[in-house]
Amino acid sequence: MTLADSVWLATALLHRENSKALDFSGHEIIEKATGEKLVKGFRPGLQVFISKHCVANKSPNPLRHRILLETTRGRRRLFKRGDPFHPDREGGKIRPDRSELPAEYQPLVDWYDEIYSKGSPHLAPAPQPDGMDALPQLPQNPTAAFSGFDEMRSATAFVGPGGTVVLPDWLQQEMGLKEGSCLSVFRDKERVALLPITDDLIRKLRGSLKGNYSLLEDREREHRIEKLR
C-alpha cells in the first residue's frame, strides 16, 4: 500500500469512528496509520505526506494528491468533491481504487463516495479565541434579495501563490461566477469581503448607498482603465 493510500485510509477510519469530529491532527492520523499497521515500521515520509503531499489546498511539491484538506493549521480532514484546492492539483488523486485496498477496507470507498463526499463541502470554521465573536454565517437562502451592505456575510478562502484565491465549485455555481467574473474586494474591519459586481447587483444597490461613493461609477472607471491598457 502506498503512503498516500495509507493516509487516506487512516483518515477515513478516524472519520468513521468519530462521526462528530470535523478534523484531526497530523499526530492522530499517524497514530491511526501505525496502529492499524497500514504502514510497515517507522516511515518518516508519512508526516510529509500528511503535512504537504496529500493536502489539496497547498501548492504541489511535486505530488498533486487531493486526499486531505487543511482546515486550520496542523489539522486535516478528508477532501470532498467541491472543496477548494490549489489549481496546480487539478486531476490529482482523491481516493484509492477499491482494488488498491485490502478487502476488509474496501467498503470505506463506498462510504466515501455515497455518504462522506456528498456532504456539505463547507470548511470547518477555525476556532475563535476567547472573547471573539464568531464570524457571521452565510444566509440560508443565498438567492434572497440583497437589500444593503448589512446583509453581507463573510466566508473563509485560501490564498495561493501570487495572491490567488480559489473559491469552492458550489459557491461559484450558486453565485453564477466564472472565469473573468468581476469581484469587488474591500476590507471590513479585520475581514476581507468579496462582492460579485453584476448589473443585477448594481440595480439593487441603487438608493441603498449614501454619500458620494458610486459603485456604478467605480465600475465604469475600471472599464475605462482596462481599455487604455
pLDDT digits (tens, 9 = 90+) for 179-196: 777 888 878 777 777 778
Structure pTM?
0.54
Is residue 64 one of the residues assigned to a domain?
yes
Sign of the four-CA dihedral 133, 150, 166, 115: positive
Q: What residue numbers bound the domain in which 109 lies? A: 3-116
Lookup: cell for 146: 440583497
- pLDDT band for position 120 (50/70/90)? low
CATH of the domain at 154: 2.10.260
Q: What is the CA radius of gyration of the chain?
A: 21
Q: How far apart are CA 61 and CA 156, in angstroms?
A: 24
Is residue 123 one of the residues assigned to a domain?
no
pLDDT digits (tens, 9 = 90+) for 70-89: 998 889 999 998 899 999 99
Which residues have CB under 8 Å from 40's CB, separation 6+? Answer: none
Count of domains forming the chain:
2
Query: CB–CB of 29/51 below 8 Å?
Result: no
What is the full DSSP assignment across 1-31? --HHHHHHHHHHHHHHH-TT---EEHHHHHH
Is residue 73 one of the residues assigned to a domain?
yes
- Residue 94 and residue 50 share a domain: yes
- Residue 88 and residue 23 share a domain: yes
- Residue 110 and residue 12 share a domain: yes
- Residue 111 and residue 22 share a domain: yes
- Residue 93 and residue 11 share a domain: yes
Residue at a domain's end among 116, 133, 159? 116
Maximal C-alpha separation, the chain? 68
